[in-house]
Amino acid sequence: LAAFGGIFFAMGGGFTLPTTQSIATKSVDDSRRGGVLGTYQASSSLAVILSTAVGGALFSLYPHLPNQVAFVASIVAILRAVLLARMFSRGAARHV
């Protein structure tokens, strides 16, 4: 079952990472693109490190809590994605 979840995690990363990198680079001029990509990658790596540490600590204290937190975070991310999709379809995303 864990491997099945890993497949969806990998697919999600495959869809979202190139898209968010593209949005990040196209939102700034060429002279700042390298700095933006560096900051993007550093923040992504830091998020992976911190989430692994926090998830491990939570799991050792409360075995079901990381799954519940991940569920809530996924719902929030899905809602945010829907809102962004609506903004892009209306052309309002240029002002974000």
| The pLDDT of residue 78 | 92
Rounded to whole angstroms, what are the CA distances from 60 to 47, 54, 57, 65, 92?
A: 20, 10, 5, 10, 44
Distance CA 19, CA 66 (A): 27
Instruction: Provide the residue ranges of all domains of the chain, joining segments of one domain with +.
Output: 2-95
In the three-class reduction of DSSP (H, G, I as helix; E, B as strand; rest coil), residue 94 is classed as helix
| The pLDDT of residue 84 | 87
Question: Span 21-42, mean pLDDT?
Answer: 88
Question: Span 37-43, mean pLDDT?
Answer: 90
Share of the chain above pLDDT 90, in %: 20
Q: How many residues does the chain have?
A: 96
pLDDT band at residue 1, thresholds of 50, 70 and 90? low
Residue 81 has pLDDT above 70, yes or no: yes
